[in-house]
Structure 1
Amino acid sequence: MTIEEIENAILKVDGIQGMTVNERLYVCGLMDEFDDSLINDKDKARLILELLKVDQLSIEKILNN
């Protein structure tokens, strides 16, 4: 997926702030994209989490696991 496609998927979902990271990825249809990025492109994985409004401390924990 392109960054624009990822942004559009996220914008379609209301109330994202009250969800867990996994819920955010799931409802936005980004679970597979994120899992692939976590293995092959950490910068893209970080961007996905930032676009999902995940806090920086959590992002660091997720990426360094």
Structure 2
Amino acid sequence: MATPSRPCGGFPGTRVETTGFTPDGARLRVTLPRDQADAFIRLAADISRGQAAVERAGE
């Protein structure tokens, strides 16, 4: 399941770090602007539940 986002680096609240896991155990870790964090948290939750796919580069 995706974890709540948290401020990181620079000015508090300008960027957040969000983590989650794919069904096969790969870790998702993304740092992005705060205004995009909610959409990524929803996507990471869908990936964790197997409701969205992840294609790994080079595979």
TM-score range, shorter chain: under 0.3
* Larger helix share, 1 or 2: 1
By percentage of residues, which structure has more strand? 2
TM-score by length of 1: 0.25
